[in-house]
């Protein structure tokens, strides 16, 4: 089993290379910008996770999906605070995306680059992307920015 410190060190290196490469690529004129890659860990049987993945894909992200049946153990290993957990965990650049965070908030996170561990929609609010039934308006929930110690602040209200 990979140690958390080793995992985080490797993740930080990959994130730094990804950020530098994306910034350089964006400066080259006339070249198409490819979708932003996001790595998602979810249970194979979770339909709401699949719907959230459809939402981020439709918003210009390129999800790389890994089915993981022991999500609690994975979240423990990654260091995702229990207070912000939801059904799936994504990793993008140096950030965790926990639960049904809207693509627009992920883009804002990447643009602002706050000193945080990531964004979360804790639990599974019923009117989020992936959870809302067809025809039901998305809204009525908060997205929180969280630190590794579980400390949170409101990032966005929907």
Q: What percent of the chain has pLDDT over 90?
A: 74
| DSSP type of residue 95 | E
Question: What is the model's pLDDT at position 23?
Answer: 53
What is 12-36 written as a DSSP string?
Answer: HHHHHHHHHHHHHHHHSTTPPPPPE
Mean pLDDT of the chain: 86
CA 39 to chain centre: 8
Confidence (pTM): 0.77
Q: Are 98 and 85 in contact (CB under 8 A)?
A: yes
Instruction: State how beta strands 118-120 and 142-146 pair.
Output: antiparallel
Give the model confidence (pLDDT) of 93-147 as tens digits. 999 999 999 999 999 999 999 999 999 999 999 999 999 998 999 999 999 999 9
Cβ neighbours of residue 87 closer than 8 Å, sequence gap 6 or more: 42, 43, 46, 48, 49, 71, 99, 124
User: What distance in Å separates the CA atoms of residue 86 and residue 114, rounded to the nearest whole number?
Assistant: 21
Q: Please check the confidence at residue 157 and state whether its pLDDT lies above 70.
A: yes
Structure confidence at residue 34 as a pLDDT band (50, 70, 90): confident
Q: Are 55 and 80 in contact (CB under 8 A)?
A: no
């Amino acid at each position: 089993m990979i140690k958390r410190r080793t995992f985080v060190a490797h993740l930080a290196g990959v994130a730094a290379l990804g950020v530098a490469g994306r910034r350089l690529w964006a400066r080259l004129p006339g070249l198409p910008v490819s979708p932003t890659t996001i790595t998602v860990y979810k249970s194979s049987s979770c339909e709401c996770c699949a719907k959230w993945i459809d939402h981020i894909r439709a918003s210009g992200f390129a999800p790389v999906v890994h089915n993981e049946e022991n999500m609690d153990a994975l979240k423990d290993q990654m260091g995702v605070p229990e207070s912000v957990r939801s059904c799936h965990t994504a990793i993008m650049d140096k950030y965790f995306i926990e639960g049904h965070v809207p693509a627009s908030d992920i883009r804002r996170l990447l643009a602002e680059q706050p000193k945080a561990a990531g964004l979360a929609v804790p639990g599974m609010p019923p009117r989020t992307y992936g959870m809302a039934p067809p025809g039901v308006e998305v809204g009525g929930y908060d997205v929180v920015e969280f630190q590794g110690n579980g400390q949170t602040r409101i990032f966005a209200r929907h």
